[in-house]
Structure 1
């Protein structure tokens, strides 16, 4: 039986640069000779197309759908032949963070049983990852096109993402927009993937 590919996750708040980081990692892994399959971010557009409330309005059903569909995409990608790395743009903890941030944004109190159920679903899936990289949200973008509500919500998501990661037992790296931080992310990802290939 073939060893499973290395599973790398990229997560973060809306418009925090996670898809840009995933593209950088995809190119770097490919340039280093590793075979990569990338799963796309099941973003608010995908969820909205299925009729789920998104962003500040998202619900527990939104989170469950994002976690389940993301897991299905990751598992399908890992089952492909001749793959060294599955690069997941958006992972289960992103969905949890988005849901809990939306509740906080709306001033609603989380229902404990619902929160535990969603958290268990996300944690079980997140345990499969070899490494996660979480982008750091910049509340002062250069383009200045953000509305106040969007900034506040994304800042909340950022806080929830990094709190979840700190409380997990999985390895992760916080990544800023700086050149040094992005270079460290590339180094860590390639190192993790190559270690797995050599051990196969």
Structure 2
């Protein structure tokens, strides 16, 4: 009867076992198979072949060229990196409700797409050079969407804030939790002025989303 190695639980034969080398090699190969970095064309191919994944399995997907691992409950991307979008054009708004497109700018909306990590949490950073035409406030925040559904709306409590006519660089960072693991989200910069009688100007804008592991 084959015994198992102490760390990897890999089978190996004993002297009293039947001298059937192909069977012993097959047992070892099958035990090792799920511990290697598996390679598949895409997630659908992986799921069709790996019908009973176990925690710690690792695979490479040709599309979208990423490593994924099994957490014990779901496949998720291994060590996803931050995504970033910058917009160097300047634009204005007099809206007192958050808008994603500025007057006079190009490249709006300023949006990044990200996949929610296994923790279901990310850090969102937004920033710009901001000024107002009067002694009023300008706000820069972000809308988080899953497909077209707003998961977290832009809010003053999650906004970079500048008050007055002097142009200032301002940034803020906030954590978003409770995201659907592997859900594909967008984060879009959103802007507003504190008063319709004043013009808020935003230049050199950026938004960055960093996964929390």
Q: Structure 1 length as normaliser, TM-score? A: 0.24
Structure that is richer in helix per residue: 1
Larger Rg: 2
Q: Structure 2 length as normaliser, TM-score? A: 0.23
Structure that is richer in strand per residue: 2
